[in-house]
Amino acid sequence: MILALIAFILVVALGGMWAMASYEGAHAQALQAQALITANQTTQVSVVGQTILSIVLAVLVLVILGGIFIGLFLLKRRQNQQIQVGRYPNGPRWQTGPNARWQQSGQFTGSSGPMLEMSPQDLLMQQQMMQQQIMTMWMMRQMGQPTEVAAMQVAAPIEPQTYEIQSGTPWWE
């Protein structure tokens, strides 16, 4: 009987240890679940904060870019107004007549106007156009036709003329 009592005490002790282990395991799982819930809540708060911060930064960048754009626009507008209005002592006025145009009154100094700079391509194009105009005027004189300026001043129609072919060397050689 003593042996049965010892076996019973051992079985009760083993059962008690097993119950304590099960309880501690369940308690650990409950604490782990609580920690997971807290971590999820922290993550949600963090995501909301990051979203709000991203929106605020995007709006701030758009406001800064808009301010820069508006500032540049107003600066350009003010520069255009200064060019049109404020550079001459008496201010702008309308010129009268059939060819009226916006005219600045007062003395014009070369330094107060904007500098006109041309690129090499523009200069070459201008030179070629001038050469073409000179060549046209020279050819018109050779053919006996009045130049454009003379043709505008003369109201009478131009009579056709007969031209003789020159036997000398051509002009381009």
pLDDT at 35: 93
Whole-angstrom distance, CA of residue 6 vs CA of residue 61: 81
Confidence band, pLDDT 50/70/90 cuts, at residue 107: very low
Measure the CA–CA gap between 3 and 7, rounded to whole angstroms. Answer: 6
139 in a structural domain: no
Predicted confidence (pLDDT) per residue in 130-150, tens digit: 999 888 888 888 887 666 655
Decide if 122 is inside a domain: no
**Average pLDDT over every residue of 97-105:** 56
**Is residue 29 included in any domain, yes or no?**
yes
Query: Would residue 151 count as lying in a domain?
Result: no
How many other CB atoms are found less than 10 A from the CB of residue 104?
Answer: 19
pLDDT in the model for residue 152: 56
> Given this model, what pLDDT does residue 118 score?
77
Per the domain annotation, does 62 fall within a domain? yes
Give mean pLDDT, residues 46-51. Answer: 94
Q: Two tokens at 7?
A: 């076996």
* 70: its two tokens: 């508006």
Decide if 160 is inside a domain: no
* pLDDT score of 157: 55
Within a domain: 48: yes
Q: Per-residue pLDDT for 10 more than 50?
A: yes
Among 18-32, 106-120, 130-144, 149-163, name the most confident range: 18-32
Whole domain around residue 48: which residue ranges? 12-90
Of 97 and 62, the structure prediction assigns the larger pLDDT to 62
Shortest CA distance to 82 belongs to which of 114, 109, 111?
114
Q: Is 169 domain-assigned?
A: no
Which is more confidently placed, 23 or 164?
Answer: 23
Q: What is the mean pLDDT of residues 42-60?
A: 95
Q: What's the structural domain count of the chain? A: 1
